[in-house]
Amino acid sequence: MQFLIYLLVYPILWLISILPFPILYLFSDFVYFLIYHIIGYRKKTVRENIALALPHLSVQERLIIEKKSFQYLCDMFLEMAKTMTISQSEINKRYVFANIETYLELEKKGKSIALMCAHYASYEWVLSMNNHITFKGYGIYKKIANPYFDKLVKNIRARFKAYLITTKETKSTIEQNAKNNILGVFGFASDQTPRRSDTMHWDSFMGIETPIHTGAETLAKRYDMNVIYLKGKRVRRGYYEATFEVLSDDIKSIPDFQLSENFMRKVEQQIYEAPEFYLWTHKRWKHKK
């Protein structure tokens, strides 16, 4: 059954990927109308999340953000499909790293790097960073249940020299690299809800007490990795710009959890600046005090 689903869906994804960008975005407008106005995909979750995070806004202001976020969600997922066939030169033109030299200076310090970012503004196209760096790039992801689509996603990332590892493989991969003196950069999208446990660290995110991910900080301390933050923003439809900020080049001197909390402050700032480009469809605040 899984293979049959793959056979049915793959040709559609490929056809989407070869569409010229103007037609791709016309199709995205149609998908938005279908998803938002007809199906109502996760509309309740998005509305509740925006109300929780932005209570200072009026109902009408939040509704505008809600609609814009669904419009962008459709753009983003079609752009993800576009990654199947987009050329390196085209993605380099559309996803620009404004201060790549900040990252490259960190490489010179001779330590592996934990790159922290949010589910914000075409986070999938961050993989094009591998066209500009020296270290081996790893993207940490949740394994897809359908093994054929899981393999497809890995193959797409490999086009841009990005290696996907599951959350369960992260620790062992970093440890093995450290033993073999292989320097790498590991991408952690650490803004969503962590798995519930008795050891969760709680922090205020968008004014709400909620557990936050601390895995990137824990692994960075254990293996003495430097930490950098990537802030992405949409310049205009189909074009993005990312900037880097070093969070730590001496991780062991930072008190426990401070780096994770600093990261959440950075994500908050991004959301307040342009909330429509955040991924609101996940239940970010399902664990609250």
Do residues 104 and 129 lie in contact, with contact meaning Cβ atoms separated by under 8 Å? no
Residue 270 Rama label (left phi>0; alpha psi -120 to 50; beta): alpha
Instruction: Specify the residue for token string 């239940």.
Output: 283
Give the residues across from 114 on adjacent strands. Answer: 186, 227
Residue 212's nearest CA partner among 281, 268, 169 is 268
Contacts of 40 (CB under 8 A, 6+ apart): none
Q: What are the φ/ψ torsions at residue 143 (nearest 5 degrees)? A: -60, 135
97-106, 154-163, 256-265: least confident range: 154-163
Work out whether strand 136-141 and strand 184-189 pair parallel, antiparallel, or are unpaired. Answer: parallel
Average pLDDT over residues 161-165: 90
User: What's the Cα-to-Cα distance from 143 to each of 17, 57, 191, rounded to whole Å?
Assistant: 22, 37, 18
Residue 77's nearest CA partner among 9, 160, 130 is 9
Contacts of 113 (CB under 8 A, 6+ apart): 103, 106, 107, 135, 184, 185, 186, 225, 226, 227, 228
**What is the per-residue pLDDT across 106-125, written as a single tens digit (0 to 9) for each?**
999 999 999 999 999 998 89
**pLDDT score recorded for residue 199:** 64
Determine the 3-state secondary structure of 274 from DSSP: coil
Contacts of 173 (CB under 8 A, 6+ apart): 138, 165
**pLDDT score recorded for residue 101:** 97
**pLDDT score recorded for residue 92:** 94
Give the span between the Cα atoms of 21 and 141, in whole angstroms. 27
Q: Is 65 exposed, middle or buried (0-12, 13-18, 19+ CB in 10 A)?
A: buried
Q: Is the pLDDT of residue 165 over 70?
A: yes
**pLDDT score recorded for residue 288:** 73
**pLDDT score recorded for residue 198:** 58
Cα radius of gyration (the chain): 19
8-22, 47-61, 91-105, 191-205: least confident range: 191-205
